[in-house]
Amino acid sequence: MVNEKLQSIVDQFVLEGPVAEIKPLGAGFINDTFKVNTIGDASDYILQRKNKTIFTDVPAMMNNICMVTEHIRRKVINAGGDPLREVLTVVKTKNGKLCYQDAEGEYWAMCVFIGHSVTYERADSPALCYKGGQGIGRFQSQLVDFAQPLFETIKGFHNIRWRFVQWDESLKADKAGRVGCLSKEIEWINSRRDEMLGFWQKVETGEIPMRVTHNDTKISNILFDEQGEVLCVIDLDTVMSSTSLNDFGDAVRSYTNTGAEDDKELDKVSMNIELFKAYTEGYLSERRATLTSSEKEWLAFSARYITYEQVFRFLMDYIDGDTYYKIAYPEHNLVRTHAQYRLLQSMESQYEEMCDIVRQNSY
Ligand code: GN1
Ligand code: MG
């Protein structure tokens, strides 16, 4: 995309200073992200083209983000913190809207770039895992009393019952003609179906409560200051009502993996229990007082649940012909499926230890 086009989009928003340059940033699977640098002392910004195929109602999603960040901002101010650095600030358009729709129908949104901040691609030390756990724990704590209804940005995002509806349809449709070659992988999913639905039933009956959660808790979604303390959680597209456990499980899935999410060398993939312990300690240091006993009881299981769901989502996208996740090569989603399955097996074999660690840090 030529810069003129990006410049004309940026011009729709209320910025503090003139733009010096606009450059691509990061490697998300879903949106396209740009850093907008301004001239002089004015703030810099993040510009994103939101993926409207995945986020079917971008204005409603932006409204969620706005409500949640304003709630957190009040908490930060009351605690004497810095409201421009400890929470994201959404930038409005000149028409007072939270996003801009261009002539092609694409949605764009901006927020203030938080300078002098650090992000990490991997949570590879216990100290960093502890901090990450604190970050997500604090984010959830700040929203524990958030009472307004939130729009469901992606239907049934971590709801395995809904995922099975999609799954059954995908297998039947066999859009890419791949189902015939995937009997082993399909069995991985089917053999755990009852166990996973059993867990989700506890959410459906209210035994595990719904709360406001982030839903994409990888370490790169936390900003740290230059001293290594958590500033705030970013990438709020999927903030919606879910269970606290899903955030915990997704962080464990992404933090503790000794390999890459799409590792071709499966022997490199496993769950590092030391990193699990550190994350759990950091998370429970913030949430110990506000989680119910049922949430604590199922916390360790949530890592298996979310990792299973990720195996499932990559495999389903492969079956559907790679329409959801960006892929770098044709078999990418299948490689991801195998790597996440190896991680799931590693969690299953260390499950008793995981439960012990949660129990030791629960009270
Ligand atoms: C997607 O694009 P990114 O990295 O924010 C996905 C997550 C997956 C993750 C797997 C909205 O996140 O749910 O866990 O890829 N986000 C969405 O890496 O589907
Ligand atoms: Mg994301």
Tell me which residue has its CA closest to atom 17 in ligand 1: 30
For the CA of 32, the nearest ligand: 1
Does 2 have pLDDT greater than 90? no
Give the pLDDT score at 22.
Answer: 95
CATH topology agreement for domains 4-115 and 126-360: no
Which tokens belong to 101? 């729709």
Q: Which of 149, 168, 148, 142 shows the shortest CA–CA distance to 81?
A: 142
b/e map of 342-352 (b: 16 or more CB within 10 Å)?
Answer: bbbbbbeebee
Question: 310 CA to middle of ligand 1, Å?
Answer: 9
Give the pLDDT score at 340.
Answer: 98
Percent of the chain at pLDDT > 90 equals: 95
Question: 237 CA to middle of ligand 2, Å?
Answer: 7
Tell me which residue has its CA closest to atom 1 in ligand 1: 29
Domain boundaries, the chain: 4-115, 126-360
Which pLDDT band holds residue 209 (cuts at 50, 70, 90)?
A: very high
261 Cβ below 6 A of ligand 1: yes
Which pLDDT band holds residue 210 (cuts at 50, 70, 90)?
A: very high
Tell me which residue has its CA closest to atom 7 in ligand 1: 216
Question: 72 CA to middle of ligand 2, Å?
Answer: 19
For the CA of 121, the nearest ligand: 1
Strands (DSSP E) along 15-135, which ranges? 19-24, 32-38, 45-50, 90-91, 100-101, 107-112, 117-118
Mean pLDDT of 231-242: 95
Q: Return the amino acid letter for 100.
A: Y
User: Does the pTM of the predicted model rise above 0.85?
Assistant: yes
106 Cβ below 6 A of ligand 1: no
26 Cβ below 6 A of ligand 1: no
Which of 25, 29, 155, 337 should be mutated for ligand 1, with most atoms under 8 A from CB?
Answer: 29
| 98-143: pLDDT as tens digits | 999 999 999 999 999 999 999 999 998 999 999 999 999 999 999 9
Length of the chain, please?
A: 363
Question: Which CATH class, in words, describes the domain spanning 4-115?
Answer: alpha beta
Which pLDDT band holds residue 28 (cuts at 50, 70, 90)?
A: confident
Give the pLDDT score at 30.
Answer: 83
Q: How does DSSP classify residue 220?
A: G
32 Cβ below 6 A of ligand 1: no
Give the pLDDT score at 227.
Answer: 95
Question: 28 CA to middle of ligand 2, Å?
Answer: 7
Does 235 have pLDDT greater than 60? yes
CA distance 86 to 254: 23
Q: Which residues surround ligand 2, an ion (CB under 5 A)?
A: 216, 235
- Which atom of ligand 1 has the smallest separation from the CA of 31? 2
238 Cβ below 6 A of ligand 1: yes
Which tokens belong to 38? 């301004």
Which of 216, 307, 324 should be mutated for ligand 1, with most atoms under 8 A from CB?
Answer: 216
| 166-177: pLDDT as tens digits | 999 999 999 999
174 Cβ below 6 A of ligand 1: no
- Determine the number of helices (DSSP H) and then strands (DSSP E) in the chain: 11, 11
30 Cβ below 6 A of ligand 1: yes
For the CA of 337, the nearest ligand: 1
Question: 158 CA to middle of ligand 2, Å?
Answer: 14
Tell me which residue has its CA closest to atom 19 in ligand 1: 30
Which of 25, 30, 307 should be mutated for ligand 1, with most atoms under 8 A from CB?
Answer: 30
Give the pLDDT score at 358.
Answer: 98
| 68-104: pLDDT as tens digits | 999 999 999 999 999 999 999 999 999 999 999 999 9
CATH number listed for the domain at residues 126-360: 3.90.1200.10
Does 1 have pLDDT greater than 70? no
How far out from the chain centre does Cα 13 lie?
26
Give the pLDDT score at 353.
Answer: 98
| 286-319: pLDDT as tens digits | 999 999 999 999 999 999 999 999 999 999 999 9
Which pLDDT band holds residue 3 (cuts at 50, 70, 90)?
A: confident
Question: 235 CA to middle of ligand 1, Å?
Answer: 10
| 317-344: pLDDT as tens digits | 999 999 999 899 999 999 999 999 999 9
| 40-53: pLDDT as tens digits | 889 999 999 999 99
Residue with tokens 């998300």: 28
